[in-house]
Amino acid sequence: MLSSHLAVLTTYIFISFKFIEKKTMKTFLWGWSLAGVLILFNILANGETGFDEIGMLNDFNGTNANVLMVGLTLVQAADAKGAVCLDGSVPGYHLYRGYGSGANNWIIQLQGGAWCTSIKDCQNRKHSSYGSSSLMEKELAFTGILSNKAAENPDFYNWNKVKVRYCDGASFGGDSENKAAQLQFRGKRIFLAVMEDLMAKGMRQAKQALLNGCSAGGLAAILRCDDFNDLFPPTTKVKCMSDAGFFLDAVDVSGGHSLRRMYSGVVSTQGLQNTLPRTCTSHINPSLCFFPQYIINQVKTPLFILNSGVDAWQIGNSLAPPSADPSRSWHNCSFSFRCTPSQKKFLEGFTISMLNALKTFSTFSKNRALITSGWAHCQAERQYDWFPGNSGAGKAKGISVAVGDWYFERKARS
């Protein structure tokens, strides 16, 4: 339990960060590094996991009767703009209206849900809610950063909140089609069409706005961050946050690059070489420009990176996918975080690589990064991780308060 952790406040430069192991307890370290990264590190010595799958399901499915459920709105006007899902259906979003002091403030959250990496994969995907609005749930639960309760979400509870549904398969990044396969790759158009619809519903008058997203939506929040900022006048405070979207270009357990192969499929299938940032594609392989580490330093808008240093999705799909682990020796570590000492050592190297990849990004005062150690994926959406009252003292300082301090430019709390 977090309450049993020894909390130690420390300030240090992350480039020289070293893991500290204790045989009988977990050591909890957190602090603002001199390079601008908030390191929230819960050093695992006994293989326990902080990834609460049941809690996550409760948060997302609204099994708690007190969870806010928000209905689906379809953007009918998007059809004329060619801003459509994989199957050609119009896109959608869920809007909760703000009130009081938050009436002119907006949070836009881009839904996640991996990617399709080939024509066949995208054809399969279009028969799901991640490829067709005709199959989308009519209501979604709003929890964590989307909660409307002051006690759970004090900084943003009364803001206008929008969850944009993900139905293009490429992190809102594409703008092409495959007529032979009857597939539309229009993620970028979807983003812009939904934003236009929201601007007409009051977002044009926004005083403050925050674009964020989880997983593939977190990557999208990086890709579309400056586009979002360009929608508003200079008087509007606009910032972006990526939650579990910092997918690292890492070597897998077999010595290969599993995620590179996946991203190469996404980029080539949807023609993303034409829509990814030119500042990146002009000098390296375009498929690498789908990795945040190669584009975040060129994002002009203030950006917050929230990610686990032992990201649950990346362990199972990038570091130790079945193709790289045919003996299944990583299965327990990947799916329940019961890792051997050598596997923990490998994950330590992954975490250090993530911190190093954020080095230059963190030198810009407008940016922040919070790298946590819990085995998790998408922490800002999960009430247990986001809500200070339920997250323990360390997590309160590390997630919701850290995001609020950065957004509102408050002095970081000790």
* Catalytic positions, written as ranges: 215, 311, 377
Q: Going by DSSP bridges, is the β-strand pair 303-308/208-214 parallel, antiparallel, or unpaired?
A: unpaired
Pair type for strands 303-308 and 237-243: parallel
Residue 404 neighbours by CB distance under 10 Å = 17
Q: What are the residues whose beta carbons fall under 8 Å from the beta carbon of 52, sequence distance 6 or more?
A: 382, 384
